[in-house]
């Protein structure tokens, strides 16, 4: 089932999401719906607050280079109650967008190499060391669980440039309510 995506201006995107106490059927269904919604919107990551649920869960796919050099998307991964550790001081800078802030993008500097401890949909804890672009996606989605958006991490100049469009998105959302 496709879920409506919460758009910038909705206060839920600014809330700190709650840890999940229990992994049940309902959550399983929610993760499936999130995956369908992410794929339909051509996203590579989606956090629960973006579909209106203030819980600590996100999903993502990663890019993977194939033997023939083409790029494919990996199997989706679910992260529940993630905990992130930055493993060294390397940084990376790249352009980011967000399904909750349609049509805009901005440059964000993020750590390059991280460790994530999380729980999967079967309730099993896992630990993964992640670098590069996938680390960026994990950090972006994890920010959503803390009410942080990538526009909070772009340069002041860039933010100034985006501000009129951000206001327009906010206004559009307010009118829809
Ligand atoms: Ni996002």
Q: Is residue 123's pLDDT more than 90?
A: yes
Q: Is residue 175's pLDDT more than 90?
A: no
| Ligand 1: centre distance to CA 90 (Å) | 22
pLDDT at 15: 98
Cβ atoms within 10 Å, residue 47: 29
| Ligand 1: centre distance to CA 39 (Å) | 14
Instruction: Note if 93 is an active site residue.
Output: no
Q: Is residue 2's pLDDT more than 90?
A: yes
pLDDT at 141: 98
| Ligand 1: centre distance to CA 68 (Å) | 30
Which residues are CB-neighbours of 12 under 8 A, at least 6 positions away? Answer: 6, 49, 52, 54
Q: For residue range 91-118, list pLDDT tens digits in order.
A: 999 999 999 999 999 999 999 999 999 9
Dihedrals phi, psi of 4, to nearest 5 degrees: -70, 140
Which residues are CB-neighbours of 50 under 8 A, at least 6 positions away? Answer: 5, 6, 13, 99, 100, 144
| Ligand 1: centre distance to CA 134 (Å) | 14
pLDDT at 177: 66
Half-sphere exposure of 36 (CA within 13 A, CB side): 10
Cβ atoms within 10 Å, residue 93: 10
Q: Are 7 and 100 in contact (CB under 8 A)?
A: yes
- Of 67, 141, 165, 175, which is the active-site residue? 141
């Amino acid at each position: 089932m496709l879920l409506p995506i919460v758009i910038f201006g909705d206060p839920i995107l600014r809330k700190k999401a709650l840890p999940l106490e229990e992994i049940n059927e309902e959550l399983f269904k929610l993760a499936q719906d999130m995956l369908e919604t992410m794929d339909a919107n051509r996203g590579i990551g989606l956090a629960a607050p973006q579909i209106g649920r203030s819980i600590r869960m996100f999903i993502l796919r990663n890019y993977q280079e194939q033997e023939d050099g083409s790029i494919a998307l990996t199997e989706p991964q679910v992260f529940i109650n993630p905990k992130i550790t930055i493993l060294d001081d390397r940084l990376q800078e790249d352009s980011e967008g967000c399904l909750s802030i349609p049509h805009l993008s901005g440059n964000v500097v993020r750590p390059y190499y991280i460790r994530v401890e999380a729980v999967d949909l079967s309730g099993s804890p896992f630990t993964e060391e992640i670098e590069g672009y996938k680390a960026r996606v994990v950090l972006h989605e994890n920010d959503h669980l803390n009410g942080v958006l990538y526009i909070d991490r772009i340069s002041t100049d860039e933010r100034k440039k985006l501000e009129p469009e951000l206001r327009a998105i906010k206004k559009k959302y307010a009118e829809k309510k």
